[in-house]
A and B are shown apart, each in its own frame.
Chain A
């Protein structure tokens, strides 16, 4: 059952997507349940994308951006970070546990961080089980 868990990963082109790439080329194992969508910057992600992912059947949504200070568009990740709080608040009201939604700053060289983050996230979702939307 839990192998069918679906994770949508929205990763910024300049850092976290690189991190995932690093993990991949180094053949680090991470759960295959992650579907990666590359975006130019975490600041480009709007809450609707997260909601759409859940509506379409994602059990967890992950957002990865550059470390604070490293955003290639200066402040995109600050914007995302503020936005993410609203997303959390909204998810909670519709019965979606906030643990199903996670974001992390991961640089292009941090393949290992990407791997462990995905492992952890997968385990969290395993515990929660598949999402049943109201």
Chain B
């Protein structure tokens, strides 16, 4: 494992990038040298609260993807698995994206040789509609006037076109039911170390991206982009490295606190009685990929009861994949009935973690222990 600070040598990218534009530069290098068929990243749709997954094949178009979309809780794992599995792809990944990709690799649904994963550290994402409401309410700013947002030093900060910034403590926002999505408040994987590299602002000086190089492929990415003349690098100071690890530690501690508070509530979830069995939670889940063959569709499970019996509906899905749940929160986001679905999946993955040590999408096991042929009891 090694660390570098990196910055784009292309002035446009450096300007448009969130930190040093390193991520965008690496993508440009991969496209220009024809190492990948395309880059999967986000570009703005209606506005900056609307990060739309975009597959870029011409490096000229990359500029519109640069920057961090804090109000875009997107998921890339299933997009690659469903639509891009036959292509060579580079992709920007938050921890939950790479964790789902890792689980899909373990299920032979994504070929690791076909993808380059550029990680983004993640302090959490805010749902776009919530984000806009929150900016109106707590910042007294028209959300349309905001040009960028960031999360720094415990604050959610918005920047206006004239350069003025305004921050509110995340804790305060979340206390009032705004701020990051609930799963993000619990998420304890903040640096995507399974990605080839993990990029972030923690430990970075202004205008630079701090990069942790996680594997050989990551090493090649940095060297390649340097050689192509698009990326400049320098070594970070030990202080910067330490500071970064310290923030990571604090964030994880905060997450664990939220876990303790919320996991307790699971057995009391009453919301299951308004489940309309629309299966949006399953269909969006990056780990569930059985489609027509899903056991939930089998007639012997009273597949038309509404609301379904939670034990025979969520229970089945829990037994199939909760040990691989990466707490991405997609299931909460899409549930039309606002049922906090991810909470129980995440809690069961943590229980499984306690039993086996297996952390979904993070542990190196070839398979989740449940699938292994090992002659061991738990």
Binding site for B on A (CB under 8 A): 46-48, 51-52, 54-55, 68, 75, 78-79, 81-83, 85-87, 89-96, 133-134
Contact = CB atoms under 8 A, between A and B. Distances in A.
Given A83-B370, A86-B323, A93-B267, A48 B351 contact: no
B129 interface: no
A93 B266 contact: yes
Given A52-B300, A54-B312, 18 more contacts: A47-B315, A47-B316, A47-B319, A52-B301, A54-B311, A55-B309, A55-B311, A68-B377, A75-B373, A75-B375, A82-B378, A89-B348, A90-B311, A90-B319, A94-B315, A96-B311, A133-B311, A134-B310
Contacts of A75: 373-375
A89 B266 CA distance: 12
Contacts of B323: 86
Contacts of A48: 295, 301, 312, 315-316, 319
Nearest to B373: A75
Interface residues of B, number: 31
Interface string B286-307: 0000000001000011100000
Contacts of A55: 302, 309, 311-312
Nearest to B315: A51
A4 to B, nearest CB: 20
A44 B230 CA distance: 56
B101 interface: no
12 contacts: A47-B319, A48-B295, A48-B319, A51-B311, A52-B300, A52-B312, A54-B311, A55-B302, A79-B373, A86-B322, A90-B319, A93-B266
A48 B295 CA distance: 9
B140 interface: no
B344 interface: yes
Given A48-B295, A78-B374, A82-B369, A90 B310 contact: no
A51 B319 contact: yes
B156 interface: no
A95 B310 CA distance: 11
Contact of A94 (B301, B311, B370, B376): B311
Contacts of B347: 93
